[in-house]
Amino acid sequence: MNFDKAYNLLVGKLQTWFAETVKLLPNIVLAAVVLVIGVFVAKLIRKYSFKIIQKFSSIQTINKLFSSFMYVIFILIAIFTALNIIGLDKAVTTVLAGAGILGLALAFAFQDVAANFMSGIFMSFRHPFDVGDLVTVNDKMGRIEAINLRDTTLITLQGQRLIIPNKSVFQNSIENFSSTGKRRLDFSIGISYGDDLEKVRGLVVACLTDLEYRLKEKEVEVYFDEFGDSSINFKLRIWLNSVEQADYLNAKSEAIILIKKAFDNNDIMIPFPIRTLDFGIKGGEKLSEMKLNLLNSAKTLDSKSIKED
């Protein structure tokens, strides 16, 4: 008797489920069609979003990530739409609520990772530098080796590999030497008060005219700057057509040699710093007079010793 009752209950449940399935069959077919169309549209979106993002970003990792993100978004839209057609909207709401809570927890747990990740995305659109550029980031100078989602790799001029989080790169100033294709040499030089300033200007310009790596479109700039304690100082600016650090250092070294040689050949003096030494008991007494006084004192002592003898 109990067996027959259980059998009848099971058969009744199966009949009910079959009836509901037959009733939902059009919705199931429609949901399947929506899902297939959604997958097809998502693939198209991924393809064209990758092409579009390439116009604004040169970082392939970010480009692929963006296109994959768009693909996942449209897949999820298709899945949720299909579930809603079947009548599982409550399940969709529950999934979305759970995803929101999980996302909030992950955001708190990985906030630094998320900050570096978002900074990498913003940098891909801001485009402050390219791979191979000579830059100064966080007071470190070197060449960009790689730009990743989370960090940027820099090869310093000493040959070390430096990995900087994208958050630090994005929030600090960046000095890009390669972006303009030129660099400038700056000197501060002092000459004697007795030298002819116009002559000095002409000599400096003439000796640096054929300097290697000098940008011919830019003139050698000489600006007399100040009256110093022991010299008249001037600023010298030379534009170079190369951003390479080795060329910059070679040009700087050669410029110093040429200026020193031109000054030596024309009796232009680069004065040493002058210091006044006061040997007098009363300030301002001349050293020559001090020497005489010392000699006179010595003669007086000698004469006294002779008399005593």
Owning domain of residue 74: 10-109
List Cβ neighbours of 200 (8 Å cut-off, separation of 6 or more).
191, 234, 268
**pLDDT tens per residue, range 229-249:** 889 999 999 999 988 889 999
User: Is 57 in the same domain as 94?
Assistant: yes
Which residue, 134, 123, 143, is CA-closest to 59? 123
Give the mean model confidence (pLDDT) for residues 123-128.
77
The CATH number linked to 149 is: 2.30.30.60
Q: Which residue has the higher pLDDT, 86 or 70?
A: 70
Tokens of 139: 């007071």
What's the number of CA atoms in the CB half-sphere (13 Å) around residue 192?
12
User: Is 87 in the same domain as 139?
Assistant: no
If one counts the domains in the chain, the total is 3
Q: Is 289 within the bounds of a domain?
A: no
Confidence band (pLDDT; 50, 70, 90) for 286?
Answer: low
Q: Is 64 within the bounds of a domain?
A: yes
Residue 58 has pLDDT above 80, yes or no: no
User: Is 15 in the same domain as 96?
Assistant: yes
The CATH number linked to 222 is: 3.30.70.100
Q: Is 4 within the bounds of a domain?
A: no
